Amino acid sequence: MVWGITAIAFLGTVGILAALMYAFAPTEMRVGQRLSRLASAAAVPAFQPKFADRQKEHIRDSLAGIGKLMPAGQTSSQGQGQLQLIRAGYRSPEAVLAMRGVKLTTPVALLFLVFATRLYVVNPYMFPALALVLGYLLPELWLVLKVQARQHRLRRSLPDCLDLLVICVEAGLGLDQSLLKVAQEMHVTHRELSEELQLVNLEMRIGKPRIEALRELAKRTGLDDIKSLVAMLIQTDRFGTSVSQSLRVYSDDMRTKRRQRAEEMSAKTTVKMVPPLVFFIFPALMVVILGPAVITVIRQLMPVFSK
């Protein structure tokens, strides 16, 4: 146990010192850039990423290098894993390799923790096997939670997006220009949906048809509300019906669904309050209310039992 704590403290100290040395090390900069910056004081300084961003990129590159050691597996499973990463918001090509690196390093780290804390002494087979299984499943669980959290944010931002889209279409803009305008206006409040709409506009600019770009949007997000919105827009485009009227009806429907979800969550609060009441609040009340009475009864009965 002492050697395990010592090893963990040593590794943590080395990591902190390495991070500080990397943070305060002079960044690579050409002589011409330095001279031009000194010559013109009014020049805009070059963009320098933050320390946290640099550390994230360094960790991602390191995990991607480790992930190259792991076999890729089947094409279908690889595509499904990449789709899950895209739905979680990680679109870089190194994300798949970094995820493989996490799946490879997490079991090793948990196995080292089992041997450092000497849990293998209790059961030399169960705890190492459990560490390996948990180390492989924990990254998948983390990815699923990230996807669900991002889909929840997209679901919450969709009604506001539809309202702005209805206003833009009724003002006379086309659907493509309306999507671009909504993406620009929602960049601060709803960043995830704004990025998805901007990606749709970029795909249409490079020549992809609108139907294909919208289908890719539904596939990337994996959200049922966006899938139904894309199906409605495709049917409206094919049958030539009014886009503004269809969007207004769908926006009203989304507002109704949003209110129903809020009512559902409020109705679940009474059921969710039962476990805290039973396991935390009621025992404390019983101790406060019955505690003095129990103490008094014990004091009265102690002389009787002592005889």
Nearest to 88 by CA among 37, 50, 139, 16: 139
Nearest to 140 by CA among 84, 207, 182, 71: 84
End-to-end CA distance of the chain: 51
Domain assignment present for residue 259? The answer is yes
From CA 215, how far away is CA 209, in angstroms rounded?
Answer: 10
Domain assignment present for residue 179? The answer is yes
- pLDDT number for residue 268: 86
Domain assignment present for residue 238? The answer is yes
**Size (the chain), residues:** 307
Q: Which two tokens stand for residue 66?
A: 């480790």
Q: Mind listing the pLDDT tens digit of every residue in the chain (307 residues)?
A: 556 666 665 666 666 656 555 544 554 444 445 545 544 444 344 445 565 666 666 666 666 666 666 666 665 556 777 888 888 888 877 778 888 888 888 888 888 888 888 777 777 788 888 888 888 888 889 889 999 999 999 988 888 888 888 888 888 888 888 888 898 888 888 888 888 999 999 888 888 888 899 899 888 888 888 888 889 888 888 887 888 888 888 888 888 888 888 888 888 888 888 888 888 888 888 888 888 888 888 888 777 766 6
Q: Positive or negative, the Cα torsion across 39, 41, 47, 53?
A: positive
Domain assignment present for residue 287? The answer is no
In 197-281, DSSP assigns E strands to none
Same domain, 97 and 204: no
- pLDDT number for residue 7: 63
Q: Which two tokens stand for residue 98?
A: 């970094």
- pLDDT number for residue 86: 86
Domain assignment present for residue 269? The answer is no
Nearest to 236 by CA among 157, 169, 138: 169
Global confidence as pTM = 0.69
Q: Helix (H, G, I), strand (E, B), or coil: what is residue 242?
A: coil
Nearest to 137 by CA among 161, 184, 103, 180: 103
Place of tokens 């789709």: 83
Q: What residues contact 29, with CB distance under 8 A and at least 6 apart?
A: 46
Number of structural domains the chain divides into? 2
Same domain, 168 and 258: yes
Q: What residues contact 226, with CB distance under 8 A and at least 6 apart?
A: 154, 158, 217, 218
Q: Helix (H, G, I), strand (E, B), or coil: what is residue 30?
A: coil
- pLDDT number for residue 172: 84
Residue type, 243: V
Its domain, for residue 249, covers 151-263
Domain assignment present for residue 89? The answer is yes
Domain assignment present for residue 58? The answer is yes
From CA 199, how far away is CA 205, in angstroms rounded?
Answer: 10
Please check whether residue 90 is in contact with residue 192, taking contact to mean a CB–CB distance below 8 angstroms: no
